[in-house]
Amino acid sequence: MSRYRGPRFKKIRRLGVLPGLTAGNPTPGSDLRNPSRRPKKSQYRIRLEEKQKLRFHYGLTERQLLKYVHLAGKAKGSTGQVLLQLLEMRLDNILFRLDMASTIPGARQLVNHRHILVNGRIVDIPSYRCKPGDIITTRDEQKSRALIKNYLDSSPNKKLPQHLTLHSSQYKGSVNQIIDRKRVGLKIKELRVVEYYSRQT
């Protein structure tokens, strides 16, 4: 299954707020604002929707998400928590959390177009896994800096998660540590995602 490229608000109305997918808000009167009108959901539907939240927020294909679930299952610790950490430490998500892009698709485009450096080297793979100590900057070109400046100037003054530091005047961000579960930028029940995939095998 390919990455979703359809109407973004349609997914938000069905699944809830997905900050990585769009910087806008759902239209008034949608199902998101009237949860009492929804019919009672089956356990399968609940697990499926949690999985879809994760997939659409981080902009993943079904195959990519399944790969991350397998990686998380082989690691030490809670599979759900490790899964979220793996996704949060992707380069495209780090750029989004640093406010260097307004959405994760926007961050992915910056990376694909080779505007981003990690530790002084161009990285054009959005799924690149960032590590503590990594320094994320823009290429020293007018176009690259103008794009990031536009995002930084237009972004709300929100508090950054503790695992990141932004030096906006230098167009630079740094990764301080692996993210804590409570700092994840999406309201999600990750255990339901793990349950979904465990029942598919």
**pLDDT value for 55:** 92
Domain spans in the chain, listed from the N-terminal domain onward: 8-86+185-198, 90-177
- Determine the residue type at 30: S
Question: Is the predicted pLDDT of residue 12 greater than 70, yes or no?
Answer: no
CATH code for the domain defined by 8-86+185-198: 1.10.1050.10
**pLDDT value for 18:** 65
- CATH 3.10.290.10 describes domain 90-177: yes
**pLDDT value for 142:** 87
- Across residues 30-35, what is the average pLDDT? 48
Question: Is the predicted pLDDT of residue 30 greater than 50, yes or no?
Answer: no
- Determine the residue type at 127: S
Query: String of b and e for 6-44 (b: at least 16 CB within 10 Å)?
Result: eebbebbbbbbebbbbbeeebeeeeebeeeeeeeeeeee
Per-residue pLDDT of 100-121, as tens digits, reads 998 999 999 999 999 999 999 9
Examine domains 8-86+185-198 and 90-177 and report if their fold is the same.
no
**For residue 37, how far is the Cα from the chain centroid?**
29
The C-alpha atoms of residue 91 and residue 128 are separated, in whole angstroms, by: 5
Question: Is the predicted pLDDT of residue 24 greater than 50, yes or no?
Answer: yes
**pLDDT value for 151:** 84
**pLDDT > 70 in the chain, percent:** 79
Per-residue pLDDT of 123-161, as tens digits, reads 999 999 999 999 999 998 888 889 898 888 877 666 789
CB 99 within 8 A of CB 151: yes
Question: Is the predicted pLDDT of residue 28 greater than 50, yes or no?
Answer: no
